[in-house]
Structures are given as structure tokens and as C-alpha cells.
């Protein structure tokens, strides 16, 4: 299994039902004890339930909330079926987080028969109502019924949990504009045609308290010095920094904070990982889960290309770089583990080559986690966001780097699109195929060999990986990676290689001019205000939950409420 591969494990289904059942019993207990469930002492009236309760399905993992709420309303509370269905739909809303089909939850019907027979009955009934409606609107369109069913027929009958979430929710959203468009135009196209008003966008955000104040107090201080402290709870105020883009003192202060963060992180790496890095080098960082679609392999090919250029002309001047790649691999994902092995092997060769010196280092940041992110992100100069266009739903690391004064090299994917829109495309290093180009290539067929034959630097890098140049102990070590890249790469690494290498050259050019680099950094920070989770949550509140957001502080969980 690979690539967030969905594993239909019985234990996982039990866990999902357990958390759903416990949550719903708590929700209903609280609803009944409140003054909203009418005065009837015998039975609670649930008419007002959707006005007082919102259940946001964060991906399909809590999808069982839909049949469980139906079960409680119909079987326990004796609410009429159609009424219960209206209440359920008005209460639930679904956020989609991935477009990769292999990651979607599709549970075998046999597992439901064994563990949740009543929920299976309810799902069948809901599906029947849903298909009756589709059949009435599209008479004779049998294929549409098959595509839209919650039950997938085949060798193993399965329940498509995403379809259950869509029919059982009054709102469905993606997490960046481009992702929400893909949700409407491809993933749930048929459902969008049926109920266009259901579909929304809610672009993700990050909390400025953790991702600016807490992890980068130096930067927060120089910002507050210029525009006051209100930006902490209203990040859009960062726009005020646009007035200081040509302010020499501010440019100097921003650059100074970055240099201090770099020195601090360099010291941390030396202390904990015994690696010495050049703090005046460009800190080029890609930290995220290891996945084929995130294309850490493209980053590796760039590192090898830089290495080969230094080797073939050691006297030439190069912009020094420290390439840091960090992230965890899922336990069963063999390719992801091989990618980590490749990164460390490339590092072993490059970092010990005397011809290279401190001009290039490749570091794998092990055990990447939030606490390490809080250290590396404020120290980064370059943020790599290089997924194949149309595969990264949103990403949030991209936003963390932007607010912390790194420049982004990236594809037009996920929230990168909106980051480029906010800051101006010329203030990010955007490269590579757009979604339309990827779709066109899918139609004509992606031929990796064609790129391999045409691009000498790419061919050389692949031949080195293939021949064991980076794994002299075990020359065949990376044959699975090379074979995948050459013959079945769904994410088209080679197709973007040339544009990526060229774009990295532009990064080098700008980095050699520190003043212009820092001005671009300031513009990026000033335009990052949209990417606050405060804005995101406000939009969920108003446009999905039907409540006005409130800034009232609630007591922390360790303190009793009145």
C-alpha cells in the first residue's frame, strides 16, 4: 500500500464508530438539557436541532455521524424518517481533503454487516432515496446512477464514504479555490450538477499566534514596531507593511531577524544532529509528509544537478545552498521509505566531497514534527511547494513559510495559486505545468523517456541514481525509484524538471542581491494576511454553520467553566 493508501481495517472502522457514537450521545444529551428542545416533558422536539448544532465532517473519517444521527432520531427518538433526514442534512457539512482516489475511504459491505448492521440498513435506505431522485431527474441514465451510488458494486461491494458525506450534508467544501474547483468539476461533478448550491470553498489558514508570535518573536517584534500589535488578531493588517518596502531600516531589520534565526537553527542542527552547515548559504527547505505527489524526487534531481555543475566547473562561483528535506513516511509506503533513503544517500556523497566544500549540503531532517517545524520555518529562505498541479488540496506549510519571510518556489497548485494572487505572481517563483497542461498531457500520454533522452542533465542524474553512484555498497538500491520515474510516474516528475531547474536559477540570481530579495520577502509577508485561520473560521461560521463569529475567550480545558 502507498500514497495515504486507504486500508479497510476492522479496527479502524471500530475506532471511527466509537468516536462518532460518543460524540453524538454527548451532543444530544447537551441539546436535551438545554432550553431548546421544546417544553414537552415526554419527548424532545428536534425541529431546532440544526439551529443549535453543527457537525463539521473533517474528511470522511466521521462519516458514520450521518447514519448514527439517523439511527438515534428514528429508532430512539421516534422522529419521522423524512423529518430526521432533513434534520441530519441541515446539521452536517463535509470538508473534502484529498482528490487522490486511493486515499478515499471505501469500506467493504461485509464489514458493516458484521459490525454495524443497522447502520448498513440505514445507508441502503438513504442511498435508495438518493438514487430515486437522480433517476427521476435523469431518466434512463443508468451509468449516472452507478457513478453516484453510495454503494460500489463489483467483486467486493463497498460503501463510498465520500458519497455518503455529500448526500448527507447541506454544504460540501474544498480547502483552496483550485481544489474546490476540482471537487466541483471532477471528483464530485455529478453531485455538483445535482445540487450546485451545496458546493463552497473555504481556503485553509494557519494560526498567527503559533506560526508567527510563538515561533518567530524577532519578526513579530519588528512588524509590531512598524504597524502596532493589532495584526495578531487581524492578520489582514500586515498590508500596512507595504508602506515600508523601501524603508532601509526595515529592510535591514527583517534581514537581520532572518540571519539570527538561521544562526540559531544552524547551532541546533550542529548540537542535535552533528551536522555543520554554512549559515550564510541559502536555506532551501522542503518539509512535509513524504509522498510521490509532493515530488521530493524533483528536489533530489535539482540537488544532483547542482552537484554535477559544481563538479564539472569547481572554480566557478556558485550561490551556496543548504538543501533540507524533512518528513515522515507512512509505515506501509515502500516508495516513500526509498525516497528517504535516496535523500540520505545523496547527502552522504555530496556532503563529503572536498570539491564541493560548503557550497552545497543536503540534509534530511529526521523526525519532522510541529516542534521542529517551529524551529526550521523561521530560518528558511526558500520554501519548496512543488506538487504536480491538481494534487495538493491546499497545503498549509506554504502559508507558514510565507508569513515567516521565506520566498516560495512552487507550482500553481493548492493555496500557492491564492498566495501568488495576493502577493503578485512575480513575487513567487512559479514554474511548471498548470492543471490544464497536466490534463492535456494525460490525454496525449506522458512519456518520461522522451524527457530523459532530450535533457542531458536529467539523463546524467538518473543514470547516477541507477548505476549506484549514490549507493556504492548496493548499486541496485534505487532501481524501484528509477523504474517508477521512467515507466509509471503518475506525477510527471520529468515533465517539470526543465522548468524547475531554470526557475531555481532565477532564485540564485535574486539571492545574490540581498536587498532585492528582502524587499520581495517584505511584500510576501505583507500579503499573507488572507491565510489566517481566523479568516477561515469566520467563513465557516457565517457561510456553513450560520452563526456570527465571536472573539469571546473561553476558559482553557484545565479550568472549570462556571
Helix H or strand E encompassing 282: strand 282-287
Catalytic entry in 288, 492, 519, 520: 288
CA separation for the pair 526, 240 (Å, rounded): 7
Round to whole Å and give the CA distance between 122 and 107. Answer: 15
Residue 561 is among the residues annotated as catalytic for this protein: no
* Burial bucket for residue 195 (CB in 10 Å: 0-12, 13-18, 19+): middle
For the question of residue 518 being annotated catalytic, the response is: no
How distant, in Å, are the alpha carbons of 61, 160, 186, 236, 351 from that of 191? 20, 14, 10, 35, 52
* Residue indicated by cell numbers 503518475: 490
Cβ-based neighbours of 486, under 8 Å, separated by 6 or more: 448, 449, 452, 462
Q: Which one of 203, 322, 391, 396 is the catalytic residue? A: 396
Q: Which residue shows C-alpha cell 454527548? A: 26
Angle at 60 between CA 113 and CA 138, to 5 degrees: 80
Question: Among this protein's residues, is 91 annotated catalytic?
Answer: no
Is residue 340 within 8 A of residue 379, CB to CB? The reply is: no
The H or E element that residue 19 is part of is helix 10-33
Q: Please count the CA atoms within 13 angstroms of the CA of 454 that sit on its side-chain side.
A: 9
Write the burial class of residue 196 (CB in 10 Å: 0-12 exposed, 13-18 middle, 19+ buried): exposed
Strand runs labelled E in 246-290: 282-287
Choosing from 71, 294, 361, 520, which is the catalytic residue?
294
For residue 160, the SS3 value is strand
Instruction: Answer yes or no: 71 catalytic.
Output: no
What is the DSSP-derived secondary structure letter of residue 559? S
* Cβ proximity of 109 and 61 under 8 Å: no
Q: Has 488 been annotated as catalytic?
A: no
Q: Which of these is catalytic: 198, 400, 492, 530?
A: 400
52 Cβ partners below 8 Å, 6+ apart? 31, 34, 36
Please state, in angstroms and rounded to a whole number, the distance separating the CA atoms of residues 395 and 416.
8
> For residues 287 and 47, what is the distance between their CA atoms, to the nearest angstrom?
47
97 as an active site residue: the answer is yes
Integer Cα distance of 237 and 253 in angstroms: 19
Which candidate in 97, 133, 460, 535 is catalytic?
97
The one catalytic residue in 289, 337, 434, 490 is 289
Distance, CA of 269 to CA of 267 (rounded, Å): 5
Q: Could you identify the residue written with the cell 512559479?
A: 430
Contact assessment for residue 482 and residue 458, using Cβ atoms and an 8 Å cutoff: no
Sign of the alpha-carbon torsion through 64, 67, 73, 74: negative
Distance from the first to the final alpha carbon of the chain:
49
- Catalytic positions are 97, 288-289, 294, 396, 400
Amino acid at each position: 500500500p502507498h500514497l495515504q493508501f486507504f486500508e479497510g481495517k476492522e479496527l479502524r472502522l471500530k475506532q471511527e464508530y466509537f468516536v462518532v457514537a460518543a460524540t453524538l450521545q454527548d451532543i444530544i444529551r447537551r441539546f436535551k438539557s438545554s432550553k431548546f428542545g421544546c417544553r414537552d416533558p415526554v419527548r424532545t422536539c428536534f425541529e431546532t436541532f440544526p439551529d443549535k448544532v453543527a457537525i463539521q465532517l473533517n474528511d470522511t473519517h466521521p462519516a458514520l455521524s450521518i447514519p448514527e444521527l439517523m439511527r438515534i432520531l428514528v429508532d430512539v427518538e421516534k422522529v419521522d424518517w423524512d423529518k430526521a433526514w432533513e434534520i441530519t442534512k441541515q446539521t452536517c457539512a463535509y470538508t473534502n481533503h484529498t482528490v487522490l482516489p486511493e486515499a478515499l475511504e471505501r469500506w467493504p459491505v461485509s464489514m458493516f454487516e458484521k459490525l454495524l448492521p443497522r447502520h448498513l440498513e440505514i445507508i441502503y435506505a438513504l442511498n435508495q432515496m438518493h438514487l430515486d431522485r437522480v433517476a427521476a431527474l435523469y431518466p434512463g441514465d443508468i451509468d449516472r446512477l452507478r457513478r453516484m451510488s453510495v454503494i460500489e458494486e463489483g467483486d467486493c461491494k463497498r460503501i463510498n464514504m465520500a458519497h455518503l458525506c455529500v448526500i448527507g450534508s447541506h454544504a460540501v467544501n474544498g480547502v483552496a479555490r483550485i481544489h474546490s474547483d476540482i471537487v466541483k468539476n471532477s471528483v464530485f461533478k455529478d453531485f455538483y450538477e445535482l445540487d450546485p448550491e451545496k458546493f463552497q470553498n473555504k481556503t485553509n489558514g494557519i494560526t498567527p499566534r503559533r506560526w508567527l508570535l510563538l515561533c518567530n518573536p524577532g519578526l513579530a517584534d519588528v512588524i509590531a514596531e512598524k504597524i502596532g500589535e493589532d495584526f495578531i488578531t487581524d492578520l489582514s493588517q500586515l498590508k500596512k507593511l507595504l508602506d515600508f518596502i523601501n524603508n532601509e531600516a526595515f529592510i535591514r531589520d527583517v534581514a537581520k531577524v532572518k540571519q539570527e534565526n538561521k544562526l540559531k537553527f544552524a547551532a541546533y542542527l550542529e548540537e542535535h544532529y552533528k551536522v555543520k552547515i554554512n549559515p550564510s548559504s541559502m536555506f532551501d527547505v522542503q518539509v512535509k509528509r513524504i509522498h510521490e505527489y509532493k515530488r521530493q524526487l524533483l528536489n533530489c534531481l535539482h540537488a544532483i544537478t547542482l552537484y554535477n555543475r559544481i563538479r564539472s566547473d569547481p572554480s566557478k562561483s556558485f550561490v551556496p545552498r543548504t538543501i533540507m528535506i524533512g518528513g515522515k513516511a507512512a509505515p506501509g509506503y515502500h516508495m516513500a521509505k526509498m525516497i528517504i533513503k535516496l535523500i540520505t544517500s545523496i547527502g552522504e556523497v555530496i556532503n563529503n566531497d572536498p570539491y564541493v566544500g560548503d557550497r552545497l549540503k543536503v540534509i534530511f531532517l529526521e523526525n519532522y514534527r510541529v516542534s521542529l517545524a517551529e524551529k526550521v520555518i523561521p530560518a528558511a529562505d526558500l520554501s519548496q511547494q512543488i506538487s504536480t498541479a491538481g494534487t495538493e488540496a491546499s497545503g498549509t506549510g506554504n502559508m507558514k513559510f510565507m508569513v515567516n519571510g521565506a520566498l516560495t518556489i512552487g507550482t500553481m497548485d493548492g493555496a500557492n495559486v491564492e498566495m501568488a494572487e495576493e502577493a503578485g505572481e512575480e513575487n513567487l517563483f512559479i514554474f511548471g505545468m498548470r492543471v490544464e497542461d497536466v490534463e492535456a498531457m494525460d490525454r496525449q500520454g506522458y512519456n518520461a523517456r522522451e524527457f530523459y533522452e532530450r535533457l542531458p542533465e536529467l539523463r546524467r542524474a538518473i543514470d547516477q541514481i541507477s548505476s549506484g553512484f549514490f549507493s556504492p555498497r548496493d548499486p541496485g538500491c534505487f532501481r524501484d525509484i528509477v523504474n517508477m520515474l521512467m515507466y509509471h510516474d503518475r506525477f510527471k516528475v520529468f515533465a517539470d524538471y526543465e522548468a524547475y531547474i531554470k526557475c531555481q536559477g532565477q532564485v540564485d540570481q535574486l539571492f545574490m542581491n540581498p536587498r532585492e530579495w528582502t524587499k520581495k520577502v517584505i511584500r510576501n509577508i505583507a500579503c499573507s494576511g488572507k491565510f489566517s485561520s481566523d479568516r477561515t473560521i469566520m467563513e465557516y461560521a457565517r457561510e456553513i454553520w450560520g452563526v456570527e463569529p465571536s472573539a469571546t475567550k473561553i476558559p482553557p480545558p484545565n479550568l472549570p467553566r462556571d
